[in-house]
């Protein structure tokens, strides 16, 4: 349960972590371990989705919690603690040097996903878009989706992971990344179109 | 997304807004226009269904990764060292 209050003229978010964070900031640093235990799985998942490799994801988790430990006193409860933690994680991730195996940083344009003039377009959605989801999703497909997301340029990957895998809203994602809501929407749409092309390729190949 | 019998620009406009439509981020008027267009244009209907399915698959495939055995211990040691 999250409550928003005005204290001393400032907006304060009282979320499920409010009391724990306050206790840590009032000297109970031994309780920091509780925050780590609660959120290490989430940040590790985020690291795996962004980096694709366990060692890089571990580095991201360590760097994120170390930064949180050092700067928790500066957290002003202007947002949920979880959102602030993800902001730290995204900043850490954006600062990390690009790996040669990762997709180059480039802009994705809407045009590259638009059908060409005179292209023969389907009258109905393919089987993979109509079959029940639980009959479709298996380990091989999940691995293909993971790789498709990893192939996205980082700034698009970041928005898609936060929106479609971590479950944040457009506004929360924009706030975490310090970009406008409309920019977050543009990045998300292009990222989804990119992944859809990869899925089409996967299912066409399979057919 | 070209369909004889109606304005191709509507298909292109829809193509740009499709994620907002999926996420229910369009206002009522814009949403009604998209609804009407999708009903009238089989190509846009197919395009919408594949994008919606892409989103569903990304969401449903986001399971927890197994945590490395040593990670919790590394984090505990790191925080203890930082607190000294």
Q: What is the CATH number of domain A3-95?
A: 1.10.1740.10
For residue A109, pLDDT over 60 is answered with: yes
pLDDT band with cut points at 50, 70 and 90 for residue B2 = very low
> Mean pLDDT throughout A176-197?
97
> Mean pLDDT throughout A166-194?
98
Report domain extents, chain A.
3-95, 110-206
Whether B77 contacts chain A with CB within 8 A: no
Q: Which residues contact A103 (CB under 8 A, 6 or more apart)?
A: A150, A151, A152, A153, A154, A157
Whether A181 contacts chain B with CB within 8 A: no
Whether A122 contacts chain B with CB within 8 A: yes
CATH 1.20.140.10 describes domain A110-206: no
For residue B4, pLDDT over 70 is answered with: no
Asked if the interface predicted TM-score (ipTM) of this complex is over 0.85, the answer is yes
Q: In the structure encoding, which two tokens stand for residue A152, read together?
A: 């996205």
For residue A196, what pLDDT is reported? 97
> What is the CB neighbour count within 10 angstroms for residue B62?
19
- Tell me if residue A6 falls in helix, strand or coil: strand
For residue A25, pLDDT over 60 is answered with: yes
């Amino acid at each position: 349960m999250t409550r928003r209050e005005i204290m001393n003229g400032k907006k304060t978010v009282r979320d499920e972590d409010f009391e724990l964070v306050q206790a840590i900031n009032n000297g109970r640093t031994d309780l920091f371990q509780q925050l780590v235990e609660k959120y290490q799985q989430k940040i590790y998942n985020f690291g795996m989705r962004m980096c694709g490799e366990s060692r890089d994801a571990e580095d991201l988790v360590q760097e994120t919690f170390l930064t949180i430990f050092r700067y928790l006193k500066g957290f002003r409860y202007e947002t949920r603690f979880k959102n602030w933690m993800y902001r730290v994680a995204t900043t850490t991730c954006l600062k990390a040097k690009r790996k040669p195996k990762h997709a180059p940083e480039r802009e994705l344009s809407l045009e590259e996903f638009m059908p060409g003039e005179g292209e023969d377009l389907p009258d109905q959605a393919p089987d993979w878009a109509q079959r029940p989801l639980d009959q479709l999703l298996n380990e091989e497909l999940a691995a293909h989706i993971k790789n498709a997301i990893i192939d996205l340029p980082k700034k698009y990957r970041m928005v898609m992971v936060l929106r479609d895998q971590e479950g944040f809203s457009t506004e929360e994602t924009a706030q975490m990344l310090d970009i406008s809501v409309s920019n977050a929407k543009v990045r998300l749409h292009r990222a989804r179109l990119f992944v859809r092309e990869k899925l089409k390729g996967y299912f066409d190949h399979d057919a | 997304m070209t369909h004889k019998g109606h304005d191709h620009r509507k298909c292109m406009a829809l193509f740009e807004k499709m994620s907002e439509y999926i996420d229910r981020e369009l206002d009522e008027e814009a949403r009604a226009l998209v609804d009407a267009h999708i009903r009238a244009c089989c190509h846009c209907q197919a395009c919408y269904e594949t994008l919606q399915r892409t989103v569903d698959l990304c969401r449903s495939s986001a399971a927890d990764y197994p945590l490395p055995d040593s990670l919790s211990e590394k984090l505990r040691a790191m925080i203890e060292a930082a607190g000294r």
